[in-house]
Amino acid sequence: MNLFSSLIKKNGPIIGTYLLIAIIFWFIFLIIIPQLYMVDLSFRPNLSPLERGGDKDFYTLEHYKHFLFGSAGSNNYFNVVDISVFFKTIFISIIVTILNLLFCYPIAFYIAKVAQPNSARFLIIALIIPFWINELLRSFALRVLLANEGVINTFLTQIGLIDTGLLFITNNVGLYSGLTYAYLLLMMFPLYNAIESLDKNQLEAAKDLGSSTFWTHIRVVIPHAKPGIVSGCTMVFMLTVGALATPVVLGGPNTLWFPELIYQWFKMSNNWSRGAAYSFLLLIISVIFVLTMMRLFKVRIGEIIK
Amino acid sequence: MSASVELKNASVTFGNFYAAKNINVKINGGEFFSFLGPSGCGKTTLLRAISGFQDLSEGEVLIDGVDMSRIGPNKRPTSLIFQNLALFPLMSVADNISFSLEVRGVDKKKRRSRANELIELMALDGQGEKMVHQLSGGQKQRVAIARALAIEPKVLLLDEPLSALDLKLRQRMRTELRAIQKRVNITFIYITHDQSEALTMSDRIAVMNEGEIEQIGLCADVYNKPLTPFVATFVGENNSIDGKLTEVSSNEATISTENGSFKSCLNNSDGKYSIGDEVFLFIRPEALELAKNGNFDNVIDINIDTFEFEGNIKNYFAKLGSNKKIKFSIPNSVDTSDIHSGSNIQIGFNKLNSVILKKGQLAVDT
Ligand SMILES: Nc1ncnc2c1ncn2[C@@H]1O[C@H](COP(=O)(O)OP(=O)(O)OP(=O)(O)O)[C@@H](O)[C@H]1O
Ligand SMILES: [Mg+2]
C-alpha cells in the first residue's frame, strides 16, 4: 500500500497505476511463479499430463537421488558422470570468471582513467560492436579460428612455426576463450563504472605520497572498485555456469557442460522434472557463489546493484 | 630538513596556450612562499610542475640544486596537498596519515607511532580510528597536512587548501598553518587567489597573471611598492587615476589628470619615465584622509556618494569629477559627523603613500 501511494504521488494516477501493474506482473509472473513451479516440479515424478494430480503424483526426491547415485542399474555407487560434469562446470566457470576479471581490469582502468576522452569513447565502441553479433555466431567464429584446420593453425603451419595443428578445441582452449569472451561486457561495464567514479586526485595523491603503481591499485583503486568487481564476477559466473551455446560449439569432445545435461533432460529425454531438479541445483550453486563473494569482499547487496 | 626550490625559465604549454610562461623564481629552504593570482592564471599548473605531475615544456625545476626532470612525483622530496584534499575515504584517519610509510614497507608498529605523533602534532587526538567522512572540515584539513608530513618531505606544496572552509575557520587555519610551518621548519609553497591569505601567512609572495609572474617580493613590498598596475589593483584595493607625466625626477613625478595635478613617488624609475608618458596614479583607500585634518602633498575635491560601515573603518564612495569614482576608508575613531551623501569635501594624501606606474592591465574585480 505504501509502495502504491508513493508511486501515485510521484508519477500521477495513470502512470503510477501502470508502474504498479508492471512491477506486480514482473514480480509474480516472471519471478515467483516460474521459479516456484520449477522447484515444485523437481520434487515430483516425471508424469504425462494425464497422470498429473492422480495417485502417482506425490512428492519425491528421486531426481536429486538420481543426480547423486545414478540409475539403479549402474555399476558405480555414485552418479560419477553427472557429479563430475557438475563440479567441472563450476570449476571452469570460476576459472573463466577469474580470467575475465584479469582481462577486463586493466582495460577498464585504462579506459576510465588513462585514455583521453576521445580514444576512451572509441575503445568503448570497439568493445561493444562485436556483441551486436549473436552469441552462437561468435562461438562459431571462434571455432573457425581455433579448429584443427582453422585459420590460426593454417597460418602457423604455413609460416613454419609448427608442423601439425595445435589441438585448441580438444584441450578446451576454445571453451575457455569462448566463455571468457561471451560475457566480457558484463564484467567490463561494472568495473568501468566503478573505476570511473574514482577521483583522479586520489591516484595522484597516492603517487605523490610515494606509492608505486602496484600499491596504488591494491590500496586505492581495488578497494574503491570492489562493488564493481563483485557485481561483474557474480554476473559473469552465473551466466557462464548457465551457458549453453558456447559450450556446445566450442567444448572439447570430453567436456560436457552442465546446462547441456539439463537441455538433454528437457528436450531429448522429455523428463521435465529431472531437468527442473538439475536446474535448481545450478541455481543453488549460483546463490552460494554470490553469497561467498559478498562475504569474501565484505560488500552488501546494495553496493553491488549500484 | 627543508630544501630550496628553483624554477628556471619554466614554461608549460597546452597546445599553443601558455598556462605558465617563462617563470623564474628561487624559493629558499624553510621559506613560506605564496603564489598569488586570479583563477586560471596557472597556479595549479605550476605546483603540479614542481611536484612532478606536469612536465615542463621548457626550462627546469631544481630542488636543492638538483634537476628534477627525470624524477617522478613519487620520488621527489615534495608532498602535495590537493585543492580537494584527496583523502582516502576507505581508510581510517590513522591509515591515511601513515599511507606513505605503508607503501614504503615500514612495519606496523613504526607506522602506528608515527601516526600518533602526527595526530598529536595536528591536535587530532582521539580521531585516529575514525573514517574521513566523520570529520569536520577543519579536521580533514589537518589530516591532509599530517598525511603529507608523514615521510618528512623537504617541501610542502599546498593548492588552495583553505578555499572550501568558512571564513572563521579559514582565518584560524591561516594562523595554524603558519605555526605548523614554523614548527616543522620545511619549505611551504602555497598557492591562492585570496590576497589576504597570502599576505598574512607568507614570507614572500609572487603575484601571477595569465601564466606570468608580475612581481616577487616581501609581502609589505608587494603591497606598498607594486611594480605593475595589475599588482597594484590585485593585491589589496587601489584607486587608479589616469593622466600624463608633466615633471619627472629620479624618484618623484607629477601627474596631470582631469582632476588636477598630483605629486607622487616613482618606484622603479631608473630612467624609464619621461615627460608626456601615459600613466596611472594609485592611491589606496586607507592612504586618503580628510584634508581638514592635516597637511597633505596633494588635495582632491570630491563629492560623497555612498557610505558603508565596516566596524573598524568607514568606507566612503565618492565621485571625482564627472565620471570617476574613488573610495576612501577612515578609521572609526575619526569624527565624520559633517560628511553626508552629497557633501562636497576635500581629501588629501601624501606622495609617499601613492605610486605612479606606466599604463597597463588592471585586475578586474570578480
Ligand atoms: N590539462 C589541461 N589541458 C588544457 N588546458 C589546461 C589543462 N590544465 C589547465 N589548463 C589551462 O591552464 C590554465 C591554468 O590552469 P590552472 O589550473 O593552473 O589555473 P589556477 O591558477 O590553478 O586556477 P584556479 O585558481 O581556478 O584553480 C587555465 O586556463 C586552464 O584552462
Ligand atoms: Mg587551481
Query: Which CATH number is correct for B229-358, 2.40.50.100, 3.30.420.40, 3.30.200.20, 3.30.70.60?
Result: 2.40.50.100
Cβ of residue B49 lying under 6 Å from some atom of ligand 1: no
CATH topology of domain B5-224: Rossmann fold (3.40.50)
Residue pLDDT, tens place only, A134-193: 888 988 998 888 888 888 888 888 888 888 878 888 888 889 999 999 999 999 999 999
The residues near A259 (Cβ < 8 Å, ≥ 6 apart) are A89, A241, A242, A243, A244, A247, A282
Q: Which residues of A touch B88 (CB under 8 A)?
A: 202, 205-206, 219-220
Domain coordinates of chain A in residue numbers? 1-42, 79-304
Q: Which atom of ligand 1 is nearest to the CA of B46?
A: 18
Ligand 1 center to A250 CA (angstroms): 53
Non-local (6+) Cβ contacts of B286 within 8 A are B313, B328, B329
Range A79-304 classified under CATH 3.90.245.10? no
- pTM over the 0.95 mark: no
What pLDDT was estimated at residue B268? 63
Instruction: Quote the ligand 2 centre to B83 CA distance (angstroms).
Output: 7
- Tell me, yes or no, if B44 comes closer than 8 A to chain A by beta carbon: no
What is the atom index within ligand 1 of the atom nearest the CA of B37?
21
- What number of CA atoms fall less than 13 Å from residue B285's CA on the CB side? 17
Q: Cα(B140) to centroid of ligand 1, in Å? A: 25
**Nearest neighbour of B51 by CB, restricted to A206, A208, A224:** A208
Q: Minimum-distance ligand to the CA of B39?
A: 1
Average pLDDT over residues B186-201: 93
The letter for the amino acid at B208 is: M
Determine if ligand 1 sits within 6 Å of the CB of residue B284.
Answer: no
Residue A305 has pLDDT above 80, yes or no: no
Element holding B152 (H helix, E strand): none
For B89-141, the pLDDT digits (tens) are 999 999 999 999 999 999 999 999 999 999 988 888 899 899 999 998 889 98
**What burial letters (b/e) apply to B54-86, b meaning 16+ CB within 10 Å?**
bebeebebbbbeeebeeeebbebbbbbbbbebb
Percent of chain B residues topping a pLDDT of 90? 62
CB distance A205–B88 less than 8 Å?
Answer: yes
Q: How far apart are CA A192 and CA B206, in angstroms?
A: 42
Task: Spell out the domain ranges in chain B.
Answer: 5-224, 229-358
Point out the ligand nearest to the CA of residue B54: 1
* 3-class DSSP assignment, residue A180: helix
ipTM: 0.81
Please give the mean pLDDT across all residues of chain A: 88
Cross-strand pairs, A19: none
Find the CB nearest B100 among A201, A209, A212: A209
Question: Does the C-beta of B45 come closer than 6 Å to ligand 1?
Answer: yes
Ligand 1 centre from A205 Cα, in Å? 18
User: Which chain A residue has its CA at the smallest distance from B50's CA?
Assistant: A208
Chain B, 86 to 105: residues with Cβ < 8 Å from chain A are 86-88, 90-91, 99-100, 102-104
Are A208 and A279 in contact by the 8 Å Cβ rule? The answer is no
One-letter identity of residue B290: L
